[in-house]
Structure 1
C-alpha cells in the first residue's frame, strides 16, 4: 500500500537520491570548483512538488551549530540527509561494513494547514541500509520510502531522533552530545549500535556569505562504534569506527556526463581523509581531485589538485548491470608523505536501488614518510550508469 501511495513522488525522490549520493563532502568541494551545477531549487524534478523551494527557508544567515539539537531534522529547509558508514570487527574474527542513510524531502512548509486526511503529510523520507559480510564476501542492501503521516517516518527534537518505520537513530543524552544509538533490520540482517564521537565536528555553512554556501552541514569523521550485528540466526558483538555526515538546505547537483567518486578513509594513526574525484564520463579532460585531511586533533588541511592525486589502477565489471567500476586506487598526499593503496574488501558492493551506484567498504594500506600505515573506509562511485 505504501508503494502505491508514494509512486506519484518517485521521480522527485530520484532527484533526492542524486543529491544525497554526492555526500556533504563532495558538495563542499563542488561549491568551490563549480564544474556544472544546478542548485537543488532549480532542479527540474522539484517541479513535481506542489510547493516551490522558495516557500522554504533559504540559507542566508550564519548558522550557530548546537548539539545535540542539530542532529535532528530542520523542517523549515526543504531537503536534508543523514549518512552513517562504518567498519566493524567481532571477537570471532568476523568483519563487516555498514551504511545507514536517511533522506528527507519537505513537500510543504511546517506552517501549511493540514488537509482533512490521516494520510496528509508535509514530508517524505527515504532510507537505505546495507551490510557487507567480508568473511563471506557477501553484500546485502535494502531501500524503503515512507511519508511522515501516521508517524510512519519522522523526527523528534527531544530527544533528537530520526526514524523510518523500524529504522532509526537517536542522539544520546550525556556529556558527549555527539553520541548515537542506531538500529535497522531488513531481510536477514540487523544492526544495533552505539556510537561515541572522538573528534570535533567538521562544520560548513557557518558564514554562507563568505563561503557562497547554499546549505548547512557538519561531519563527525570518527565515531567509536560498539554493538551487535545479526545475520540470519547468528549474532556477533562488534566494535569499530563510523562516520556521520548531515546536511540541510539546497545542495548543488552535478549535471551532465560526469562521474564522481567520494572517499571516506579512517587511518589507524588517528587521521581521517575525505577525498573527491570528478571527471567526464568519456574520459576526456583532466579529473579534478580535492578533499580534506583531518589530523588526530581535528585540525583540517585542504587538499587540491596540487597536493592530492588519485590514480585508478584496476576495474571491476558488475555481473548484473555490466557497468565497469574502478576497483583499486592509489591516493597520494605528497606534502604529508602519504601514499595509500585502496582495495575493496568485496568487489560486488553495487547498490541496485532507485539510483544505481557502487558504495562499499575498502582496505587502505601504504606508507607515511616510509612508515607503514593502514586503515579502512568507504568509497562511493556515482554516475557510472549511463
Structure 2
C-alpha cells in the first residue's frame, strides 16, 4: 500500500485539448422537501484526436426511487456524428466486421438520422477560466473563488434539475500516471448538494450528497471493445472507496482491480489486493445485455468486507457506438470493518456502480 495527499487547490477541472478522450462525471443522492427521493448521474464527454473540432456527448439518468421511475438520455452534437461517420465507426467495423448492431447504427448516420433512442443536441462547447461546459441546454459550470463549487443544470423534456455541489474533502488524486486506463484521474468523492428538481409542474427543493470525477488522456480502448467495472462508494463513517478494473473481450478474465480508500481527511491509500465477486445478474429486456448488479467486495488490506445491492435493477443507460448501453446504478452498502483484536464494526453506505462493455 502507498499513501498520498493533495490540496484542493491542485485539483484540475479545466479542459485538456491534447486529450482524445475527456469526461466530467457526477452522481448524487437527493431527498426532496415533498418526500420524494432521487438519484441522478450525469457524464459530459469530449472526444476528438485534434486540439480543435471536438465532439461532445452527454448522458444522464434521473431515478425517482419512490415509484422507481427512470429517465435516461443520450445526446450528441453534429461534430461527434461526423467523427463517428468518418473515423470511429469505420475503424471499429474494420476490426469487428460481423457486428450487426454497429452496422445498423452506421447506416442510420449515413442517412442523416440517429438510431433510437439517441438524440441530437444543438451544440456542445467547453470554455476555460472559469471552466464551463454547455451541452445543448444543459451545463456544468465551476467557480473556484471564494469557495470551490460547481453547478449542474440539466434541462430535459420531462424534468429540470439545478444542483450546486460543494466539496467536503480535499482532492483525491486517483491516478496521475494513467495506470488504471491510460487516463489521468482526479476526484472529489464527497460533496454537499443543494438545489431544485422540477417535474410534472412541481418544483421540489432537494438536498443530499454527491461524487465528482474528472478523467482525461489518450486512449483507444473503446474502439477495441474494452470495458470496465467501477465502484464509487460513500461509507457512512466519512470514508470513500473507489474500485476500478478493466476487462477485455478477447480475454477470459478481467485485469486485477485497484482500490483507493479515501480517508475523512482526504488521504488516499491504494491497494491491489481486491476480491470482487458477483452475486446477482440482471438482463435488460431492451438490449438483452446481462449485467452483474450485486457484489461481494473484500478488501483485505483495509480489513473491509462489503455487500453491494442495487436500489433498483433497471438502471441501464443507452450509449451510442459499440457499447450499446451501460449499467450506471445507485446501490446501498452493508458490511463490516474487522479489527486485529477480533471485534467487528458494522459498515453502511451508498454509492454507484458503473458496468461497461457487457454487450456481446
Q: Could you tell me the TM-score, scaled by structure 2's length?
A: 0.76
CA 1:249/1:287 → structure 2, altered by over 3 Å: closer, same or farther?
closer
1:276 to 235, 241, 244: 244
Structure 2 CA distance for aligned equivalents of residues 274 and 287 of structure 1: 16
Given that residues 18 and 50 in structure 2 are in contact (C-alpha distance below 8 angstroms), is that contact kept between their aligned partners in structure 1? no
Given that residues 279 and 296 in structure 2 are in contact (C-alpha distance below 8 angstroms), is that contact kept between their aligned partners in structure 1? yes
Unaligned runs of 5+ in 1: 1-63, 111-121
CA 1:312/1:205 → structure 2, altered by over 3 Å: closer, same or farther?
closer
Given that residues 123 and 147 in structure 1 are in contact (C-alpha distance below 8 angstroms), is that contact kept between their aligned partners in structure 2? no
Instruction: Give the equivalent residue in structure 2 for 1:323.
Output: 289
Structure 1 CA distance for aligned equivalents of residues 227 and 20 of structure 2: 26
Given that residues 279 and 288 in structure 1 are in contact (C-alpha distance below 8 angstroms), is that contact kept between their aligned partners in structure 2? no
3-state secondary structure, aligned to 1:385: coil
Structure 2 CA distance for aligned equivalents of residues 237 and 252 of structure 1: 41
Structure 2 CA distance for aligned equivalents of residues 212 and 338 of structure 1: 22
For this pair of structures, how many residues does the alignment match? 306
Structure 1 CA distance for aligned equivalents of residues 232 and 75 of structure 2: 24
Given that residues 138 and 346 in structure 1 are in contact (C-alpha distance below 8 angstroms), is that contact kept between their aligned partners in structure 2? no
3-state secondary structure, aligned to 2:77: strand
2:32 to 87, 90, 99: 90
3-state secondary structure, aligned to 1:346: coil
Instruction: Give the equivalent residue in structure 2 for 1:192.
Output: 162
Name the structure with the higher helix share. Answer: 1
Instruction: Give the equivalent residue in structure 1 for 2:300.
Output: 334
Q: Deviations over 1:160-190 (max 9, x none)?
A: 211112111111242323x101100112122
Given that residues 280 and 292 in structure 2 are in contact (C-alpha distance below 8 angstroms), is that contact kept between their aligned partners in structure 1? yes
Aligned pair 1:358/2:359, yes or no? no
Instruction: Give the equivalent residue in structure 2 for 1:175.
Output: 146
Given that residues 81 and 246 in structure 1 are in contact (C-alpha distance below 8 angstroms), is that contact kept between their aligned partners in structure 2? yes
Structure 2 CA distance for aligned equivalents of residues 200 and 65 of structure 1: 6
Given that residues 282 and 292 in structure 2 are in contact (C-alpha distance below 8 angstroms), is that contact kept between their aligned partners in structure 1? yes
Equivalent residues in 2 for 1:1-386 (5 A)? 70-106=12-48, 108-110=50-52, 122-147=53-78, 152-177=123-148, 179-203=149-173, 215-251=183-219, 253=221, 259-279=227-247, 284-285=252-253, 288-304=256-272, 306=273, 308-354=274-320, 355-369=324-338, 370-386=344-360
Q: Deviations over 1:286-338 (max 9, x none)?
A: 7633221111111112121x3x2111111112122222211211112234332
3-state secondary structure, aligned to 2:285: coil
Q: Deviations over 1:221-276 (max 9, x none)?
A: 11111111222222221111211111222136277676531111111111111112
Structure 2 CA distance for aligned equivalents of residues 372 and 84 of structure 1: 27
Given that residues 276 and 298 in structure 2 are in contact (C-alpha distance below 8 angstroms), is that contact kept between their aligned partners in structure 1? yes
3-state secondary structure, aligned to 2:145: coil
Given that residues 107 and 124 in structure 1 are in contact (C-alpha distance below 8 angstroms), is that contact kept between their aligned partners in structure 2? no
Q: Could you tell me the TM-score, scaled by structure 1's length?
A: 0.71
Pairwise CA RMSD: 3.0
Instruction: Give the equivalent residue in structure 2 for 1:46.
Output: none
Given that residues 316 and 328 in structure 2 are in contact (C-alpha distance below 8 angstroms), is that contact kept between their aligned partners in structure 1? yes
3-state secondary structure, aligned to 1:144: strand
3-state secondary structure, aligned to 2:257: strand
